[in-house]
Chains A and B, each alone.
Chain A
Amino acid sequence: MRRLAFLIPVLLFAFSTLAFDMTSTSFIVRDPIIGTFGEEWSTSTNYGLISAGHTTLSDIGGTSTNFQIRYGFLYWEESASLITFDIDTTAADTCGVTESAAPYTVSLGTITTTDTRVSGATDSVNHICVDLETRAAGGAVVTVANANGANGLASASVPADDIDSADSAVADGTEMYGLCIVSTSATTGTLDDEGEYNADTCAANSETNDTGSLSTSPENIFDTNGLPVIGGRGQISVNVSISSTTPAHNDYADAITFIATGTF
Chain B
Amino acid sequence: MKSKKQLFRFVSGITILSLLILVAPQAAMAASVTAFKDTLSREKASTLANHTITFTTPTGIAASATLILTFDNSTSIAAALDFTDIDLADDGVDVTLAAAPSGTTWGVVRTSATVITFTNGSAAVAATSVVTIEIGTNATSQSTGVRQITNGTAGTTTLVLSGTFGDTGTAAMSINDDDRVSITATVSQSITFDLDTGVADGETTTPYSVALGTIGTGDVEVSGTTDSVNMIIAEGDTNASGGMVVTVSDTNGANGMVSTSVPADNIVSTTGTMAAGTENYGLCVITVGLVGFTIAAPYSGNTCATNSNTNVIDALTTAGENILNSGGAPVSAGHAEIAVNGAVAGTTQAHSDYTDTLTFIATGTF
Contact = CB atoms under 8 A, between A and B. Distances in A.
B39 A261 contact: yes
Given A247-B239, A247-B330, A103 B183 contact: no
Interface string B1-27: 000000100110011011001100000
B182 A104 contact: yes
18 contacts: A12-B18, A12-B22, A105-B181, A108-B184, A110-B187, A111-B186, A138-B37, A244-B190, A247-B240, A249-B186, A250-B186, A250-B187, A253-B183, A254-B182, A255-B182, A255-B183, A258-B43, A263-B36
B158 A247 contact: no
B332 A249 contact: no
A85 B71 CA distance: 19
Interface residues of A, number: 66
A44 B8 CA distance: 51
A83 B173 contact: yes
Interface in B333-349: none
Contact of B187 (A80, A136, A248, A258): A248
A247 B181 CA distance: 23
A163 B194 CA distance: 27
Contact of A261 (B10, B173, B180, B187): B173
Interface of A: 1-2, 4-6, 8-9, 12-13, 78, 80-87, 89, 101-112, 117, 128, 134, 136, 138, 153, 155, 158, 161, 163, 238, 240, 242-264
Given A138-B37, A248-B188, A262 B239 contact: no
B203 interface: no
A134 to B, nearest CB: 8
Interface of B: 7, 10-11, 14-15, 17-18, 21-22, 35-43, 156, 158, 169-174, 176-190, 237, 239-241, 329-332, 366
Residue of B42, B169, B177, B331 with most chain A CB atoms under a 10 A cut-off? B177
Contacts of A109: 185-186
Contacts of B170: 78, 80-81, 264
Majority SS at the chain A contact face: strand
Given A83-B173, A246-B187, A104 B332 contact: no
A6 B173 CA distance: 50
Nearest to A157: B241
A194 to B, nearest CB: 15
Contacts of A155: 241
B172 A252 contact: no
A163 B170 CA distance: 43
A244 B334 CA distance: 12
Nearest to B38: A261
Given A5-B14, A84-B156, A257 B180 contact: yes
A153 B43 contact: no
Given A247-B330, A248-B366, A108 B183 contact: yes
A13 B173 contact: no
A50 B170 CA distance: 39
Contacts of B43: 85, 258-260
B192 to A, nearest CB: 10
Contacts of B14: 5-6, 8-9
B241 A248 contact: yes
Given A9-B17, A82-B156, A83-B173, A256 B180 contact: yes
Contacts of A264: 36-37, 169-172
B136 to A, nearest CB: 14
Given A86-B176, A264-B170, A256 B239 contact: no
A115 B311 CA distance: 45
Contacts of B18: 8-9, 12-13
B187 A138 contact: no
Contacts of A240: 185
A246 B366 CA distance: 12
Contacts of A128: 181
Given A12-B22, A244-B237, A238 B173 contact: no
A83 B156 contact: yes
A81 B171 contact: yes
B174 A85 contact: yes
